Amino acid sequence: MSILIDQNTSMLMIGITGKQGRIHCKRTVESGAKLLAGVAPGKGGQEVEGVPVFETVAQARETFPQITAGMLIVPRQFVKDAALQALKEGIRLLVIITEFVPVMDALQIVRAANECGAKVIGPNTIGVISPGKSKLGIMPDYIYGKGHIGIISRSGTLTHETASNLTFKGFGLSTCVGIGGDSIIGMNHADVLELMAADDDTDAVVMIGEIGGTSEEMAAAKIKELGLKKPVFAYIAGMYAPENKRMGHAGAIVSGGMGTVKSKIAALESAGVTVCPTLGKLVEAIDTYNRKSNGRLQSLEPQID
């Protein structure tokens, strides 16, 4: 079992003929994921890496009605229309890679998704991967070993680093979700945490957060609400970030004492989360837990050489 996607997930890519679309189409196909179609207005009838291109999502789903998931990788001024079309035409898991999507556009997308019962990951995300099963995103799948640790992260780079560190040390991942770094996103830490709590393949959870917003505090409240017994480990980036200055991600900004590292750590620790000062210490904490639990978090695949 896994969350959000598995080996049977059929997907399409919106923006497949662009430079980044072509790069990630190739990598997605090579990963073994079931990328059945691409969408690019004015480019219908073409192929990218053997994947047929359609003018609209409706045309793609008419040919491949089993498609229910999509990845959107288009310039930010086109994100809203493309996303709303995808949701209208039956896409129920939409990963929005594009960053700095206008706030009002993102709000409309999230509202439309809620109204039709769809899930949105992003904007400004690397997507989602269930190692050994499938991926709907732009992460290098070879650094994500298969196993029993779930990762929920606002940072793509820190997700990659954590996944590679864990895989190198002999641990593996069940599902990794980059929730996105924009100020308005679809699924947050708490939403994904609830799915991982019910996932038989996930025995422990890693949360990677950063300054700004309340996603981490909401996750702490969710842990208490669920009475979660699975161990949760966390790292919060931005300890020394100045107030009222955006740090990389649109959502990474401290204002009026809200969204600070200290406030997030306090909330998480009150929920029983092991909060680590560095990513290295996070791996050490997981290793300590693993030894005490007779190796239940060990990888299902060979370590990275």
Q: What is the pLDDT of residue 254?
A: 46
Domain assignment of residue 49, yes or no: yes
What integer best gives the mean pLDDT of the chain? 91
Among 20-29, 171-180, 210-219, 287-296, the minimum mean pLDDT is found in: 287-296
Global pTM reads 0.91
If asked whether residues 278 and 214 sit together in one domain, one would say yes
Q: What mean pLDDT do residues 198-205 have?
A: 96
Is 249 one of the annotated active-site residues of the chain?
A: yes
Do 109 and 200 lie in one domain? The reply is no
- pLDDT at residue 242, rounded to an integer: 52
Radius of gyration of the chain (CA): 19
**How many domains is the chain built from?**
2
Does 143 share its domain with 216? Answer: yes
Locate tokens 């990275």: which residue?
304
78 and 147 fall within a common domain: no
Domain containing 114: what range? 10-121
- Say whether pLDDT at 101 is over 90: yes
Per the domain annotation, does 281 fall within a domain?
yes
36 lies in the same domain as 81: yes
147, 269: one domain: yes
Percent above pLDDT 90 for the chain: 81
Q: pLDDT tens across 41-79, in order?
A: 999 999 999 999 999 999 999 999 999 999 999 999 999
pLDDT at 188 over 60: yes
pLDDT one-digit tens code per residue, 107-159? 999 999 999 999 999 999 999 999 999 999 999 999 999 999 999 999 999 99
**Domain finish residue from 121, 154, 184:** 121
CATH code of the domain containing 231: 3.40.50.261
Instruction: Flag whether 234 is in a domain.
Output: yes
Higher pLDDT, 111 or 244: 111
pLDDT at 147: 92
Quote the strand ranges of 24-153, DSSP E: 34-39, 47-48, 51-54, 69-72, 93-96, 119-121, 127-130, 134-137, 146-153
199 and 275 inside one domain? yes
Residue 20 pLDDT: 96
**Burial of 218: CB neighbours in 10 Å, binned 0-12, 13-18, 19+:** middle
Listed residues 61, 91, 121: the one ending a domain:
121
- The pLDDT-based confidence of 162 (bands split at 50, 70, 90) is very high
Contacts of 292 (CB under 8 A, 6+ apart): none
Instruction: Name which of 39, 13, 187, 55 is nearest 109 in CA terms.
Output: 187
What is residue 138's predicted lDDT score, i.e. its pLDDT?
Answer: 97
Q: Does any domain span residue 262? A: yes
Note the pLDDT tens digit of each residue in 208-241.
Answer: 998 888 899 999 999 999 999 999 999 998 665 5
Task: Report d(CA 95, CA 111) in Å as an integer.
Answer: 15
5 falls within a domain: no
